[in-house]
Structure 1
Amino acid sequence: MKALLLLCSCLWAPLVVGKPDNDTVPTPYRLQTALLDTTWTNDFGIKPWPQHPRPLLRRESWKSLNGIWTYQPASGGDDLIDPPSTPLNQEVVIPSCIESALSGIMASNVTHMWFATSFTVPYDWAQNERVTLHFEAVDYEAVVLLNGVQVGFNRGGYFRFSIDVTEHLNADGSNDLLVFVFDPTDDPSHHIPLGKQTNDPSHIFYTPCSGIWQTVWLESAPATHITNMDIAAGMDGTVTGNIQSSVGSHYPVNFSILDESGTPLATYSALSDQPFKFTVPSPRLWSPDSPSLYDISVSMGPDTVTSYTGFRTISSEKVKGVQRPLLNGKFVFQFGTLDQGFWPDGIHLPPSLEAMTFDIKLLKSLGMNMMRKHIKIEPDLFYQACDQLGLMIIQDMPSMPANSLPDPASQTEFERQLELMINEHKSYPSIVTWVIYNEGWGQLTHPYHPEKHIAERIRKLDPTRLINAVTGWHDHGAGDFHDNHHYAEPQCGTPFYSLPGTPYDPDRIGFQGEFGGVGHVPELRNLWPVQEAMDTILQTYEINQDLSSYNYRSHQLLDHLREQVALFACSGAVWTQTTDVEGEVNGLVTYDRRVMRVNATQWKEDIQALYDAAEARN
Structure 2
Amino acid sequence: MRFTSQLFLLPLAAFTAAQSNTTYSVKTPPLTTNWTYEVGTNPWPEYPRPQLQRSQWQNLNGIWRYENAASLNATEDPPFGQTLENEVLVPSCLESALSGIMETDRLYSWFSTNFTVPSSWSSNQVLLNFGAVDYEATVYINGQQAGFNRGGYYKFTVDVTNYTKFDEDNELLVFVHDPTDSGDYVIPMGKQTLRPSHIFYTPCSGIWQSVWVESAPADFITQLDVDANMDGQVNITVHSSSGTPTPVSVTIYESGCEEAIATHNGTSDSPFQFSVSSPSLWSPDSPTLYNMSITFGSDVVRSYTGFRTISKGTVNGVVRPLLNGQPLFMFGTLDQGFWPDGIYTPPNREAMVYDLEVLKSLGFNMLRKHIKVENDLFYQACDQMGLLLIQDMPALRPLQSYTLANCTSITYLPDPDQQAEFTRQLELLVNQHKSHPSIAVWIIYNEGWGQIIQGYPEFGLTALVKSLDPTRLVDSTTGWYDHGAGDFSDNHHYANPQCGSPFYSTASSPYDPTRIGFQGEFGGIGNNVSIEHLWNVQEAINTINQTYEIDQTLDAWSYRAHKLLTELLEQTEMYACSGGVWTQTTDVEGEVNGLLTYDRRVLRPNVTQWRDDIEALYAALKSRASNETSGMML
**Structure 1 length-normalised TM:** 0.95
User: Any idea what the Cα deviations from partners look like across 1:483-532, whole Å, max 9, x if unmatched?
Assistant: 00000000000222364642321100000000000000011100000111
Question: Quick check: 1:116 aligned with 2:124?
Answer: no
Name which of 539, 552, 564 aligns with 1:545.
552
1:64/1:490 CA distance change after superposition, 3 Å: same
**What SS is found at the alignment partner of 1:133?**
strand
Letter in 2 for 1:278: F
Does the C-alpha gap of structure 1 residues 190 and 579 become closer, same or farther in structure 2, counting only changes over 3 Å?
same
1:445 aligns with 2:443: no
Alignment partners' CA distance in 2, 1:337 and 1:261? 33
Q: Is residue 33 of structure 2 the alignment partner of residue 33 of structure 1?
A: no
- The answer on whether the counterparts of 1:288 and 1:391 sit within 8 Å (CA) in structure 2 is yes
Letter matched to residue 337 of structure 2: G
Q: 1:595 pairs with 590, 593, 602, which one? A: 602
Pairing partner for 2:396 from 387, 393, 400: 400
Tell me, in whole angstroms, the C-alpha distance in 1 between the residues paired with 2:257 and 2:44. 28
Structure 2 Cα separation of the partners of residues 362 and 218 of structure 1: 34
User: Pick from 155, 160, 167: which aligns with 1:165?
Assistant: 160
Partner of 1:232: 227
2:577 is aligned with 1:570: yes
Match of 2:437 among 429, 435, 438: 429
From 158, 172, 178, the equivalent of 1:177 is 172
Query: How is 1:51-450 mapped onto 2 (pairs within 5 angstroms)?
Result: 51-85=46-80, 86-126=82-122, 128-259=123-254, 260-403=256-399, 404-446=412-454, 448-450=455-457
Deviation string, structure 1 residues 111-157 (Cα, Å, up to 9, x no partner): 1010000110034323x411100111000001011000000010000
CA contact under 8 A between 2:118 and 2:167: conserved in structure 1? no
Q: Count matched residues.
A: 592
Identical-residue share of aligned pairs (%): 59
Q: 1:528 aligns with which of 529, 535, 538?
A: 535
Q: Deviations over 1:435-471 (max 9, x none)?
A: 000000000012x000000000111100000000000
Give the residue type in structure 2 aligned to 1:407: D
Deviations 1:24-57 (A, max 9, x none): x971111111110000111111110000000000
Correspondence for 1:14:
none
Q: Distance in 1 between matches of 2:543 and 2:243?
A: 54
1:294–1:395 Cα change, 3 Å: same
Amino acid at match of 1:32: K
Amino acid at match of 1:341: G
* 3-state secondary structure, aligned to 2:413: coil
Moved more, 241-250 or 64-73: 241-250
Residue identity matched to 2:529: P
SS in 2 for 1:497: coil
Deviations 1:198-235 (A, max 9, x none): 01100000000000000011010111221211000000
Q: Which deviates more, 116-125 or 426-435?
A: 116-125
Asked if structure 2 preserves the Cα contact closer than 8 Å seen for 1:72 and 1:88, the reply is: yes
* Corresponding position of 1:12: none
Aligned to 1:482: 489
Task: Tell me how far apart the structure 1 counterparts of residues 65 and 107 of structure 2 sit (CA, whole Å).
Answer: 17
- Alignment partner of 1:514 out of 521, 545, 549: 521
Root-mean-square deviation over aligned CA pairs: 1.1
1:546 CA displacement: 1.2
> 1:614 deviation in Å?
0.8
Distance verdict in 2 for CA 1:109–1:500, change over 3 Å = closer
Would the aligned equivalents of 1:475 and 1:503 in 2 still touch at CA under 8 Å? no
Deviation at 1:92, TM superposition (A): 0.3
Partner Cα separation in structure 2 for residue 367 and residue 26 of structure 1 = 45
- Structure 1 residues not aligned, in runs of 5+: 1-24
1:254 and 1:507 map into 2 onto residues whose CA distance is 43
Q: 1: distance between equivalents of 2:110 and 2:443? A: 34
Structure 2 residue aligned with 1:468, among 458, 475, 486? 475
In the alignment, residue 371 of structure 2 is paired with which amino acid?
I
CA distance in 1, matches of 2:240, 2:196: 44
Q: Secondary structure at the match of 2:395?
A: coil
> Counterpart amino acid of 2:501?
T
Counterpart code for 1:283: P
SS of structure 1 residue aligned to 2:465: helix
- What is the identity, as a one-letter code, of the residue corresponding to 2:561? S
Gaps of 5+ in 2: 1-19, 400-411, 626-634
Which amino acid counterpart does residue 268 of structure 1 have in structure 2? Answer: H
- 1:46 corresponds, among 37, 41, 44, to 41
Structure 2 CA distance, aligned partners of 1:365 and 1:304? 37
Given that 1:484 and 1:499 are in contact with CA atoms closer than 8 Å, whether structure 2 keeps it comes out as no
Give distance in 2, aligned partners of 1:123 and 1:31.
Answer: 36
Mapped contact 2:246–2:267 kept (Cα < 8 A): yes
In 1, Cα distance between the equivalents of 2:510 and 2:185? 32
- Could you say which residue in structure 2 is the equivalent of 1:610? 617
Structure 1 counterpart of 2:408? none
**Partner amino acid for 1:424?**
Q
Deviation, 1:164, is 0.6
Using the TM superposition, give the Cα deviation of residue 162 of structure 1 relative to its aligned residue in structure 2, in angstroms.
Answer: 0.5
Aligned to 2:10: none
Partner of 2:592: 585
CA distance in 1, matches of 2:624, 2:83: 65
TM-score (norm 2): 0.92
Alignment-mate amino acid for residue 444 of structure 2: I
Instruction: Measure, in 2, the Cα distance between the counterparts of 1:381 and 1:499.
Output: 40
Q: Does the CA-based 8 Å contact 2:31-2:599 persist in structure 1?
A: yes
Do the aligned partners of 1:135 and 1:160 also contact (CA within 8 Å) in 2?
A: yes
Q: Tell me how far apart the structure 2 counterparts of residues 117 and 384 of structure 1 sit (CA, whole Å).
A: 29
Deviations 1:285-313 (A, max 9, x none): 00000000000011112111000000000
1:270 maps to amino acid: G
Q: Secondary structure in 2 aligned to 1:493?
A: coil
CA distance in 2, matches of 1:541, 1:341: 20
Q: Quick one: which amino acid aligns to residue 260 of structure 2?
A: P
What's the secondary structure of 1:610's corresponding residue?
helix
